[in-house]
Structure 1
Amino acid sequence: MLHRVAVVVLDHFAPLDLGVPGQVFSAAESAAGEKLYEVVTCSEGGRPVRCGAGYSVLPDHDLGVLDSADTVVVPGVHGGRPMRDGTISGTLRAALRDRPRVMSICTGSFVLAAAGLLDGRPATTHWREAARFARLFPEVKLDPDVLFVDDGDVLTSAGVAAGLDLALHVVRRDHGSEVANRTARRCVMPPWREGGQAQYIDRPLPSGDGGTAATRAWMLARLDTPLDLTALAGHARMSVRTFTRRFREETGQSPAKWLTGQRVRHARHLLETTDLGVEEVARRAGFGSAVSLRQHLHAAVGVSPLAYRHTFRRV
């Protein structure tokens, strides 16, 4: 039976956000080529909904379709009541409650917060709207630096393209890395993006030549190799102090924290896609030992390597 994804379209919807669920989930197929998701759209009363780009869409359903949805997606909104005063209609609030899984793209998080779905939970939104979000919804544990937040049955993503990252994450969570990677290739997008939203925040960089992008690529090609700060700064042709400052400005993280995150991601990929033993996965990911891998993986996702592999290789 197809997993039904229902997309709730609101006034002032963000055009790209609206297209993400249909593009990513519709592209997800089994190894035999069978569709894994059905995507439907809806609006309050099934009425036409207009965006700021000069056109309207006419969803096929009203909010009643949410009763049969396995996942509900709320795309971003550019203005309107959720962003002005943090409120939504009582009809929409009731419709969003008690769903198996709800996710937002970009400023769609304002709608989830207005429905009370994010109270006491971690969440994210577009970095430009983070201050407004925090004022309207102080009870939400906002993290404006990440691309998305997975809090089990409620998921939120950062600005615009981060919705692609979240949708692909959901495919990976539902069906494993092989399906997600195949979906990413079909959508011509990376299986995951490094770093968080902090690297896209508009803020001035100090004057000077060069950046750390080339060194980050160099680090990614050598995850299984010990890399100290002196070597990294040397590759970037900077002093250790300048490199550390520039790296944090460009990624929002210290070199050590960023490198650990990439090693955890690589270890997760190997656990999902190979039969390598835990010791070998640890070596290839640069952790050196299974004990170190277990500590870092548990800190990142809360489970051991074997438990993680079991979860993501069930399909």
Structure 2
Amino acid sequence: MKLTYLTMLLLFANQVISPSNLVVTYKGETVADVQPADFAIPYLDEPILDEEKYSEFIKELEEDIYQEPVNATLNDSGEIVAGKAGYTLHRQKFRDLFYTYFLNKQPVEIEAPVLKVHPRVDKELLAMIRTKRIGQYITYFNSNNEERAHNIALAAEAVNNYVVFPGKTFSFNEVVGKRTKEKGYLPAPEIVRGEVSEGIGGGICQVSSTLFNAVDRIGVKILQRYSHSKSVPYVPSGRDATVSWYGPDFSFKNNLNQPLLIRAKAAYGNMEINIYSSDIVEYKPREVPNASKELRRDMEMFGE
């Protein structure tokens, strides 16, 4: 009995003194602590990696390490704010390191190898495509309707500084994302099946409609565009673009030879969108009717 107890004590002590853990660190902090047995296919004489378990581990590790790059932008003064590179796990290098540990079953600490992720838009590109304004559209809203004005400004901020490369598609729903309380959107009037009702994010269709008219003026290819079930006062009849997270989207394709820069701002009752590109952009301007300034005074009780 004493021998059995002593044997168990020694085994436990050996586990404490000589663990076979793999500790993964990133920037000096531990992001994972695992054992080889967790990734081995059981009941085999030779250690064979369970690829499914390893893939799940890598996915979680990558999510912990990933740092999204930040695009270069223009501030309110028109000055370029430089972008910032991001980082992601270097999968191949990590697999080589992991496999050595898996076969040797020796305790080891690995600093996660990473790859630099460059931003989509750097300051050099932004400097090139901000030079020429090729499209503009302005609509008007009642700034005294604070909830609706707030939603309009929030959606305008989401599309501001977005760059659409040649051959690529812009989706309003994809770029702006789901309109939720957590993102700061407020209940405001909106049109649902021809009736005015309260909804989170009411007002954002004015942003999508303003954008539609701005890009339509430069002749891009409109892919999706739907009108409201009743007329809206902020654009001429038939010139609106309704959007809904679970419903219609507004999207267009940049069929021009240069990237397009969207500049959007909502303030003092004006929703303004300007489209910029480089000096060598080739496009054919289109006639699009302007929104009426007189409509703003009629909007006090209006909701989308």
TM-score, normalized by the shorter chain, greater than 0.5: no
With the length of structure 1 as denominator, give the TM-score of the two structures: 0.23
Whose Rg is larger?
A: 2
Name whichever structure is richer in strand by fraction.
2
With the length of structure 2 as denominator, give the TM-score of the two structures: 0.24
Name whichever structure is richer in helix by fraction.
1
